[in-house]
Amino acid sequence: MDILITGANGMLGEKCFEVLSERYSVIVTDLSDRCVYSDRATYAKLDITIEDDVIGFVRELRPDAVVNCAAYTDVDGAEKFKDIAWNVNVKGVENLIRAVEPLGSHLIHISTDYVFDGDGGPYKEGDPPNPVNYYGFTKLKSEELLRRSEIPHTIVRTNVLFGQTHYQQASFVHWVVSQVSSRKVIHVVNDQFGNPTWVDGLAEAIARILERKAYGLYHYGGKDYINRFAFALEIVAVFGLDPKFVRPTTTRALGQVAKRPYRGGLVVDKIKKELGVRIYSVREALRAMKEGQ
């Protein structure tokens, strides 16, 4: 099977390359000139917002499956740069759909618990979405495009991704470890809940979806439903750091630009039951990350 990964330099893209290239022939693409983590990867520059490029590239490659890890993931930035967020998260997906339409390739697209308002999480696949910020709105629109299309596709919603990858800009674990190691006090919200997801587990789940040709909508997340402050305390515990540098705060006090869902997170019963994927606890994932350092 030939697999194309878009946004492959990002956190999930890197793990997908790692897991999928052991079994399949994988071509990785992203915005930059090179693959940031591997010299052996077959890499090409591909901006998913440029329709002609996407159609030309995909139709020539004729992949059996496309895993779309490309996204504009800056939740606060999306409020300010709405056109960029729309172009990448919606138009980009539309381009991919159009490109694979005549090929019948399986398109796997990643979405988020931010399609929900956070009044009643963790959420099941059948719960009604109601995004409270622009990022969540664009991700919901991309889901709707796929549902309206007639291509074989899977939408995988996830939340609070973490793991050991080259791309560390948005890594919560990296931020907590680096700040607390240098004895800086950090304030972390204790009113935003989710089930933090080890990116390695999500990449394994995507491999299972590909293997089984499991179409439709799935939620994938971790075992523990916790708030971000509790997550930060788990991180300092596993990395042997001093918890006194981690202090609780609230979303209101932090004043983030974009509104956040408070009780987000995802129920993962469906993917567990149908595909038998492994769900990881925060502690076991963090320990594996520490051992792999």
Ligand X SMILES: NC(=O)c1ccc[n+]([C@@H]2O[C@H](COP(=O)([O-])OP(=O)(O)OC[C@H]3O[C@@H](n4cnc5c(N)ncnc54)[C@H](OP(=O)(O)O)[C@@H]3O)[C@@H](O)[C@H]2O)c1
Closer to ligand X by Cβ: residue 31 or 55: 31
Closer to ligand X by Cβ: residue 112 or 195: 112
Residues near ligand X (CB under 6 A) = 6-7, 9-13, 30-31, 47-49, 69-73, 88, 92, 110, 112, 139, 158-161, 167, 170
| Selected catalytic residue, list 43, 123, 135, 225 | 135
Considering only CA atoms, give the Rg of the chain: 18
The whole-angstrom separation of Cα 111 and Cα 156 is 6
Question: What tokens does 23 get?
Answer: 């079994």
Q: Which residues pair with 44 in a beta bridge?
A: 29
The whole-angstrom separation of Cα 65 and Cα 119 is 35
Q: Give me the least distance between CB of 38 and ligand X, in Å please.
A: 14
Contacts of 153 (CB under 8 A, 6+ apart): 97, 106, 107, 108, 109, 146, 215
The whole-angstrom separation of Cα 120 and Cα 111 is 18
Q: Give me the least distance between CB of 59 and ligand X, in Å please.
A: 17
Closer to ligand X by Cβ: residue 140 or 243: 140
Closer to ligand X by Cβ: residue 73 or 164: 73
Residue 135: active-site member: yes
Q: Give me the least distance between CB of 219 and ligand X, in Å please.
A: 11
Question: What tokens does 164 get?
Answer: 């050991």
Q: Give me the least distance between CB of 236 and ligand X, in Å please.
A: 20
Is residue 128 classed exposed, middle or buried when 0-12, 13-18 and 19+ CB atoms within 10 A define those classes?
Answer: exposed
Q: Which residues are catalytic?
A: 135
